Structure 1
Amino acid sequence: MTNMAHGLSRIDTFLRDCLGGHGTNAAPLPQTFGYLFEANPITGNLSRKTIVDGFDALVETMRSDKVEDGPADAGQTFFGQFIDHDITLDTTSAIGQRIDPRSVRNVRTPNLDLDCVYGDGPEASPYLYSHDHEGFMLLGRPDSPHDLARNCHGRALIGDPRNDENIIVSQVHASFVMLHNILMTMLENDEAAGHDIHACAQMGVRRDVWHEVIPEAMVGFEEVRRFIRLHYQWLVLKDFLPSFVEQSVIDEVLAHDPFHDRGPIMPAEFSVAAYRFGHATVQAKYDLNADKTGVGLFTMEGFGPRDAANDLEMARFFGADAQKALPVGIKMAKTLFELPNSVVAKPLMWADYEIPLPQAKKLALRNILRDRTAMQVISGQHAAARLGLDVIPAPEVLQDHHIDKTPLWFYCLQEASTFGNGRLTGVGGRIVASVLIRAMKLDPESVLNLQGFTPWSGFGDHFSMASLMQFVETHRDDVAHREDLYCH
């Protein structure tokens, strides 16, 4: 128990250390940040104020109150947030403070294993699980049965507390907990579904593993967990990535990773720049359900009990009739330029220079300053040149402030606007696709390392986040021991 790696159950540890990539003795996945390219410190004679004002002028060109539909469903923005919380948690870096990404400890396992949902499993994270019903997860309370399980202070009992930071991501998380309990129920009560879960979960794993490594009482739990993980990974590859990255770029990365094996598993260029594209896709308001429409983004704050009246109708977030995310690009909802005091309440410090609170409240400026002052990642122009791609010059507003290179975060958005029709392409598309695909390639039990995997027919003819959410909503009231799983 005490020697078990973070987020790894007995079967995870066995597959990682013993199977070693189906007999290849592959090393365990590293959990370190680092650079795909190299550090790019700020040089020159410009003062910090001049640099900040130049970046501020750039982000002001992004401010928009226009509601524009992009290609992705609105829920995909928050599924992307959920994915981020599954693979990365940096608790050390701060804006304005130089950090060597190689020294950052990633609190999450960097593979797509849903450790943000399952924690360390029932043995090491028992507060997530039922005491009375083996393998079932706690969820809800009598007055809000679809809310996350919470302690007496209203704090969510989940593997990653960030998944309670807003109503939408908290319900994406809750849907995966519901899915687990639904499938545990089917394993008990539906022979045909149980057979399918069993067959899928055991794909690519020697039959004796389930009998010799896993305690008999935990086999059902481990089968359901692996079944869900494989379908989750398929969704990341086939539903989430195509929503935000040009398919031609995804195909190119699948065939030939542009970064090969030289890059870290969790690059700074991904975590502080390219993957933050999601901020540009956030709408200022959302319709939650038939009764709650036009709800402002920052009136949906989490970190506390959720009233049942705020339960999402998931068809409004995923599927043919869903609201849409903004296109990936150089416009952002003006709401994100005035972050509430609950998010940002004081000025930023960059060494001895104080960045005033009105500037500190601009999410876009915070992204650029984290990129340039904390991690100091390569500029967009340098990254494009290194990858042999067409280079976009720095915007005039930067050049007017004597800055001739574009911060990578903005550059990725600029590529999407210029070349990608609202999807990442170029540098940004390659970084995002490479990191997520490589995580699956290096994980010996991932869906990319299984031959013949197809999504379960029980999820519908066309498996997607929309069909998964519909499945959960259809079956969530049929969970066995439902009231026993509430937190009172």
Structure 2
Amino acid sequence: MTTIHGTPPRGIAATRSPLFEGRFGRMFRNLPPAQFGATDKANRDSLAALGDAMSADLDPPKDGPDAEESGIPSLYTYFGQFVDHDITFDPVSTLTKAMDPSGLVDFRNPTFNLDNVYGRGPGDQPYMYKPSGKFQLGDPMTGAPGTHAHDLPRFDGRAIIGDPRNDENGIVSQLQSLFLRFHNRIVDDNPGATFAEAQQIVRFHYQYVVVNDFLARIVSAPVLDALKSGGRYDQHELRFYHWRHEPFMPVEFSVAAYRLGHSMVRPGYRINDHKLIPIFPRAATPNEEALTGFRVPPPNHAIDWGRFIDSDAAPRANDGSPAVQKQRLQFAYRIDTSLVAFLHDLPKTIAGDKPASLAERNLLRGWLLGLPSGQAVARAMALVPLTDAEIVIGKAVDTPDPGDVRGPIVDAVNAVAAGKGDVFAGNCPLWTYILAEAAANRTDMTVPTQEGGTLKTPQLGPVGGRIVAEVFLGLMFGDGTSYLSMDPLWEPVTGPDFRLRDFVRYALGEGPALH
């Protein structure tokens, strides 16, 4: 079945956008590719060993306080995945041969325009819509009373949505459903509005959350402040992400910096009072109940969104009793150089061919696309690179248990495969470098914990944060239909503090009308 990603948008965007089919490319074109061995096999073996070192031992899903939690509610992990599906899609990358980034085509419209939700619009994909301009919804779901949850519309089990990837797991699938419901309520609250007018209201609120909430959660404040003039983001402050004719998708962003979310994934989640389940089935129990996607979900898998986003007026403390544990807000894991074991053994439906380790796959992709080392990028940004001793592999927990921290990168890899770590001395893969930089950057966002006290949360630092923020803002400023281009002083009618939690509340039918 041919997907929509390579098809020019019609109906909702009648004219061909100059942003469509923007190519991938490099932000730092003059930097040489990093190498981690003298031969193809040596490179792959070294990166496989680093991937193993970055993969944690198996921990089951858990209720209650967790030393690996950040101060970022866990829905932001999957909102980040949703955003990625909105702005980038490369259907032809492989892990078998080197690739030229300038030869890759981004088949996703590189703008924050929600084409992963709207597809090609009601004129070209009418089966996604009702005659009123609202989205079709799927079957009702149970397990979270009061949420009125619906599955995605499906045919023969396959989700009928703008981007099939938004059915990859149970959480992003239900987040996609929330976007459908958000649009539908906008239609109800704005009688007489055309489809295009309702669509613009939805897009502006989404873009506002991306710029004013999501970025501030994942990127440290000093990095963001450097991109502002007079307290507002200024396109003239962008130093590294520029284009002459058309925007492009930098591989430093798509293959390295924006893969921060992989370290934020928990082993599993309590989705409602009755279900605490892993993200994928364990290898030893392939038929285990899990948040596996690309299927009709069990009807009792409706998500209680108060467990994923700070949507309640007051935080709910955990006194250890089972009833209160069930209601606890779950936080994303910290941005660091450790991925949960479930991501080391990805199901074949997700990974396809080997390797099944997500860390190894990320490292291989960066090498095959010729990414420079993290140290080289830092120097190009006029920054003093991290030392090898500062690039620590493992969990960025305050009080590590044995095995949580594998050690500095050279030692950590050598402990996995003797002699394989030496190639990483002063030569760290960009993805790993950015995660290590974040893990060391725990001074900028301090948040209260549900159990009392405070927590310093790792955020992307001067290299990783700058890449992510410049690409987000550059794409937004480069899109003549974004709110930053059309009306940079725009804010929701509810006020400037509109956040992802408010987006969720509105989609669930709570709060005042939006216009």
Q: What's the counterpart of residue 397 of structure 2?
A: none
Q: CA deviation at 1:260?
A: 4.6
1:135–1:440 Cα change, 3 Å: same
1:371–1:380 Cα change, 3 Å: same
Q: CA deviation at 1:127?
A: 2.2
Q: Within the alignment, does 1:422 sit opposite 2:436 as a pair? A: no
1:312–1:431 Cα change, 3 Å: same
| Contact 2:157-2:295 within 8 A present in 1 as well | yes
TM-score (norm 2): 0.75
Distance 1:313 1:116 in 2: 24
Distance 1:44 1:307 in 2: 45
Q: CA deviation at 1:452?
A: 2.8
Distance 1:128 1:423 in 2: 38
Cα deviation 1:403-436 (Å, max 9, x = unaligned): 1311111011011012355111121111111111
Distance 1:44 1:183 in 2: 52
Question: What RMSD, in angstroms, separates the aligned Cα atoms of the two structures?
Answer: 2.7
Cα deviation 1:231-270 (Å, max 9, x = unaligned): 1000001111111111221232334112152485311111
Distance 2:188 2:205 in 1: 18
Cα deviation 1:101-127 (Å, max 9, x = unaligned): 112121111000000000111112222
3-state SS of the aligned residue for 1:310? coil
Q: Give the alignment of 1:414-453 within 5 angstroms.
A: 414-420=436-442, 421-449=457-485, 450-453=487-490
1:406–1:181 Cα change, 3 Å: same
Report the AA paired with residue 417 of structure 1.
A
| Contact 1:33-1:104 within 8 A present in 2 as well | yes
Q: Give the alignment of 1:313-332 within 5 angstroms.
A: 313-319=304-310, 320=315, 322-332=329-339
Q: CA deviation at 1:362?
A: 1.4
Distance 1:344 1:44 in 2: 24
3-state SS of the aligned residue for 1:71? strand
Report the AA paired with residue 468 of structure 1.
F
| Higher mean displacement: 318-327 or 55-64 | 55-64
| Higher mean displacement: 464-473 or 69-78 | 464-473
Q: CA deviation at 1:9?
A: 4.2
Structure with the larger strand share: 2
1:308–1:473 Cα change, 3 Å: farther
1:437–1:8 Cα change, 3 Å: farther
Q: CA deviation at 1:288?
A: 0.4
Distance 1:266 1:429 in 2: 16
Q: What's the counterpart of residue 124 of structure 1?
A: 124
3-state SS of the aligned residue for 2:109? coil
Q: Within the alignment, does 1:259 sit opposite 2:273 as a pair? A: no
Q: What's the counterpart of residue 319 of structure 2?
A: none
Q: Give the alignment of 1:241-256 within 5 angstroms.
A: 241-253=215-227, 254-255=233-234, 256=237
| Contact 2:134-2:187 within 8 A present in 1 as well | yes
3-state SS of the aligned residue for 1:123? coil
Q: CA deviation at 1:461?
A: 7.9
Report the AA paired with residue 173 of structure 2.
S
Q: What's the counterpart of residue 146 of structure 1?
A: 150
Which of 287, 291, 296 in structure 2 is aligned with 1:305? 296
Q: Within the alignment, does 1:226 sit opposite 2:200 as a pair? A: yes
| Contact 2:19-2:109 within 8 A present in 1 as well | no
Q: What's the counterpart of residue 54 of structure 1?
A: 46
Q: What's the counterpart of residue 366 of structure 1?
A: 361
Distance 2:221 2:125 in 1: 38
Q: Within the alignment, does 1:408 sit opposite 2:422 as a pair? A: no
Q: What's the counterpart of residue 201 of structure 1?
A: none
Q: What's the counterpart of residue 107 of structure 2?
A: 107
Q: CA deviation at 1:5?
A: 7.9
| Contact 1:86-1:115 within 8 A present in 2 as well | yes
Q: CA deviation at 1:54?
A: 2.5
Q: Within the alignment, does 1:455 sit opposite 2:492 as a pair? A: yes
Q: What's the counterpart of residue 22 of structure 2?
A: 31
3-state SS of the aligned residue for 1:72? strand
Structure with the larger helix share: 1
Report the AA paired with residue 396 of structure 1.
V
Distance 1:430 1:306 in 2: 38
Report the AA paired with residue 469 of structure 1.
V
3-state SS of the aligned residue for 2:158? coil
Q: Give the alignment of 1:43-192 within 5 angstroms.
A: 46-64=38-56, 65=59, 67-130=67-130, 133-141=131-139, 146-151=150-155, 153-188=156-191
1:244–1:441 Cα change, 3 Å: same
Distance 1:44 1:60 in 2: 15
1:100–1:163 Cα change, 3 Å: same
| Contact 1:284-1:333 within 8 A present in 2 as well | yes
| Higher mean displacement: 42-51 or 314-323 | 42-51
Q: What's the counterpart of residue 276 of structure 1?
A: 259
- Unaligned 5+ runs, structure 2: 1-5, 60-65, 143-148, 228-232, 282-289, 317-328, 389-408, 443-456
Report the AA paired with residue 274 of structure 1.
A
1:183–1:126 Cα change, 3 Å: same
Distance 1:170 1:274 in 2: 24
| Contact 2:219-2:465 within 8 A present in 1 as well | yes
Distance 2:218 2:53 in 1: 22
Cα deviation 1:314-349 (Å, max 9, x = unaligned): 1111115531101111122122112223334644xx
Report the AA paired with residue 133 of structure 2.
G
1:260–1:337 Cα change, 3 Å: closer
Q: CA deviation at 1:465?
A: 1.1
- Unaligned 5+ runs, structure 1: 18-26, 189-193, 195-218, 348-359, 479-488
Q: What's the counterpart of residue 465 of structure 1?
A: 500
Report the count of equivalent residues: 416
Report the AA paired with residue 372 of structure 1.
W
3-state SS of the aligned residue for 1:287? strand
